[in-house]
Chains A and B, each alone.
Chain A
């Protein structure tokens, strides 16, 4: 049983679009971070689909690197969120408009 490649690409595009939408309309900074993770996952799905289509294993290695970078980014970003919350007592991005207190 075969699944057309375009279905995978469509699902990947939908996931990426959901990520962009969440990034734009959400006001909670943690939810914005989760939207970024969603975008990375959409790109990963298209990487794997193309790797399976072209029989090129390097696509999966790239997915591996994307996951590693996403993990590092999540760790640093959540640390930044904690630091911001300590100084400002809020998670709303509209109220975090100055880098310096």
Chain B
């Protein structure tokens, strides 16, 4: 949570990215506490590994400096901050006191990769395949978008 707040406070994108890594790591620890060790490993590998490296490379590639701030309207600040505070306190109070939800035991050791794989490849086979097609389209789109505009123009000239 401190990492999440830090992400908002920092004005430099690199610092925000590093605090986001902190958030990802602590979420992986939460998943471990909940007994989903496969998801914890996936969280570390995919989020803290792949996605954050992608973000950092983009930040360094684009040489992002400090962002300039825009001044919000005064009425929004005056009305919004108390409104957010009241809403947050209400939601937290409702969740903490009025709920008869049960509790979650720590370390149930229950989401082992074997049962997840059985669920993934039997019950959720169609979404799995659709996701693979989505990934393929995303790869192609990323390559096309990030390619140099000169090559795109040349290809267009060759076509026309």
Q: Give chain A's interface residues, CB within 8 Å of chain B.
A: 1-6, 8-11, 13-15, 17-19, 21-22, 25-28, 30-31, 33-35, 37-38, 41, 44-45, 48-49, 51-53, 55, 57-58, 60-61, 63-65, 67-76, 78-83, 85-87, 91-92, 94
Contact = CB atoms under 8 A, between A and B. Distances in A.
Interface residues of B, number: 73
A8 to B, nearest CB: 7
Contact of B106 (A2, A68, A79): A2
Contact of A30 (B13, B33, B38, B137): B13
B96 A64 contact: no
A41 B47 contact: yes
Contacts of B82: none
Contacts of A17: 88
A38 B7 contact: yes
A38 B20 contact: yes
B96 A10 contact: yes
Given A2-B105, A60-B38, A81 B110 contact: no
A64 B39 contact: yes
A91 B105 contact: no
A58 B72 CA distance: 43
B43 A45 contact: no
A73 B142 CA distance: 10
